[in-house]
Structure 1
Amino acid sequence: MAALAKHRDECSRAGILIWAGDMVDRGRVSALEAVVEASRRSCPSARIVAVFGNEEYMDREEEFIRRYPSVVWLNDTYIVVEEDIKLAIYGSRGVLDRPTRWQRRHIPGIEAIYRHRAERAAAALRELRGKADKVILVTHYAPTRLTLEGEDPRIWPELGSTIMERVVLETAPDLAIHGHAHRSKRLEAVLGRTRVINVALPARGDVAVIDL
């Protein structure tokens, strides 16, 4: 909340406010109300676009969508909006090279789910290149290992995906935004022709302001 208030002037002019997942803790749907209210106070004109993180549990996605219809939830889907430019945003939880132990126990077929997400993202990003002036990929999990520096390399496979890294290199979105890497020391990188930004609040200690 304080980070948003700190950027009130920039936020008041923002056309889009992007949430890259983990807006609440442990699937607490009701807790998002305070985040929505704070966002509306600081960024009254901004369209809120969000992807789910691992803290917005998969079995509660529909509840989040029903309770917060003012949020544009992107779940392996995209929107095209007109700001000063035509902007396409594709959003997804993202992909992990190695599902976590909890995921392997509780989400049947999680490896296949991740493969399908990567394939779907690649197809959509190729399509969107012809529909917009700028294309943004938003995922919760990191789409490259470049912005995982500072995290323990032993858990990099549970923070991001080399498969998605290949997708980014092949489809070249203009910008890739992610969260999840809370201890990252490298918050921005360039992967091929794509600028990658880790917007995880614990890593940055602030919100990220991006001017396209």
Structure 2
Amino acid sequence: MNSATDKDKPVEKKKANSKARIAAMGDLHVKEHGTASYKDLFAEISQTADILVLTGDLTDLGKVKEAELLAADLRSCSIPVVGVLGNHDYECGCVEEVTHILKDAGVHLLEGQAVEINGVGFAGAKGFAGGFGRHMLGSFGEPAIKAMVTESVEETMRLENALRQVRSERAMVVLHYAPIRETVAGEPEEIFPFLGSSRLAETIDRFPVKAVVHGHAHRGTYEGRTPGGAPVYNVASHIEKPTGKPYALLEL
């Protein structure tokens, strides 16, 4: 984990041509009362992977205390950490404070930006709801519906801006919301429109993306692909993964 002194230094690009092992997980839902700690898990990941990616819902209610507890647990993580926020991180209206705490803890928190670590370019945004394929919500009718679609489009534009910043041939997209229907399968179909949007996949497929990770759908499916063929992984901590752990291990 980067110290406060190190966090403002340029990210090292060591072994840019070698494979990077990436541990990815989401939906930690750290609670204010600290009933569960990720300290040991982060220490384990540090021995297994080169980079840790967190795909949102890092806190349970977006409280400052929750972010502080997560930041404390992250002290046991000795590898770079990349992340995005999720919908739960916005719940209490303290998103600026939560963001500051996590960035101050050394997390490369992406909100429409990109960062390159060990030769891998990470492009991140929260994403948003809207539905998939021909069932995707259109901008028609009441102002509330149009506002929802506008938010979905704006998050997609943030992702596009992030992808345009990636210079590495190895690009990973980090989201909270799902870009495809396949990886939310297992959730009740009635809530599919609230779990992600095909707009994200349409943007991803315009760029040479090696892998996509997201969370949010706790009862979804681990793996799928965008229409253009980019592999997508639902790494919510609740999802069964090949590792048998709360995190997935991917090589790029």
TM-score range, shorter chain: 0.7 to 0.9
Shift, 1:127, TM fit:
4.9
Tell me, yes or no, if structure 1 residue 211 matches structure 2 residue 251.
yes
* C-alpha distance in 2 between matches for 1:195 and 1:5: 29
1:62-97 deviation digits (Å, cap 9, x = unpaired): 10122231222111111122x1xx211111110211
Write the letter of the residue equivalent to 2:160: A
After TM superposition, the structure 1 = structure 2 runs for residues 84-163 of structure 1, keeping only pairs within 5 Å, are 86-97=119-130, 109-128=147-166, 131-163=167-199
1:149-188 deviation digits (Å, cap 9, x = unpaired): 111112111001111122222224111110000111x201
Structure having greater relative contact order (Cα 8 Å, sep ≥ 6): 2
1:78–1:90 CA contact under 8 A, matched in 2: yes
- TM-score, L = length of structure 1: 0.81
Write the letter of the residue equivalent to 1:112: T
* C-alpha distance in 2 between matches for 1:182 and 1:105: 30
- Poorly superposed stretches of 4+, deviation over 4 Å: 1-4, 6-10
The size of the alignment, in residue pairs, is 199
1:64 pairs with one of 95, 98, 111: 98
Q: 1:66 to 1:39 in 2, by over 3 A?
A: closer
Greater CA radius of gyration, 1 or 2? 2
* C-alpha distance in 1 between matches for 2:79 and 2:170: 18
* C-alpha distance in 2 between matches for 1:52 and 1:28: 13
Which structure shows the higher helix fraction?
Answer: 1
Aligned residue for 1:40, secondary structure, equals: helix
1:173–1:193 CA contact under 8 A, matched in 2: no
Give unpaired runs (5+ residues) of structure 2: 1-35, 132-136
Shift, 1:114, TM fit:
1.7
Give unpaired runs (5+ residues) of structure 1: none
Aligned residue for 2:130, secondary structure, equals: coil
Write the letter of the residue equivalent to 1:115: V
